[in-house]
């Protein structure tokens, strides 16, 4: 071994240079290009999936908002119906108090008989 040369240096023996670094660089460049292509395709796929997920979340949020709006109107509607029925019952009782009391007594008697069975 020649003491003037160091390990890993590219020396020529018989006029030939070592082609290994060039092959390594070419393989590394090829690997980088392959990784870049895969990364681009993956990023495109992720962007499509992200868009789909955003649309799904927006759709679910719109459905929830519609359901909330409907549910918020429901108590008002129920309250209005209750008030109408209460007013109708009060008007009926005021118009015929004796028949209302008699009807209530008959209904109570029948329910009591049914409860004993």
Which residues are CB-contacts of 21 (< 8 A; sequence separation ≥ 6)?
A: 10
- Predicted TM-score (pTM) of the model is 0.38
Ranges of the chain whose pLDDT falls below 50: 1, 3-13
Long-range own/partner contacts, residues 80-87 (CB < 8 A, 24 or more apart): none
Phi-psi region for residue 11, left (φ > 0), alpha (ψ -120 to 50) or beta?
Answer: beta
pLDDT for 99: 92
Is residue 100 within 8 Å of 92, Cβ to Cβ?
Answer: yes
pLDDT tens-digit map of 9-43: 444 445 556 667 788 888 888 888 888 888 888 88
**Coil/strand/helix, residue 13:** strand
């Amino acid at each position: 071994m020649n003491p003037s040369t160091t390990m890993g240096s590219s020396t020529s023996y018989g006029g030939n240079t070592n082609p290994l670094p060039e092959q390594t660089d070419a393989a590394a460049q090829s690997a980088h290009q392959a990784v870049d292509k895969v990364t681009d395709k993956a990023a495109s796929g992720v962007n499509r999936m992200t868009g789909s997920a955003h649309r799904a979340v927006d759709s679910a949020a719109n459905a929830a908002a519609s359901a909330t709006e409907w549910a918020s109107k429901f108590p008002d509607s129920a309250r209005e119906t209750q008030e109408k029925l209460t007013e109708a019952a009060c008007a009926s009782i005021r118009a015929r108090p004796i028949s209302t009391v008699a009807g209530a007594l008959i209904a109570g008697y029948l329910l009591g008989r049914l409860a004993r069975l």
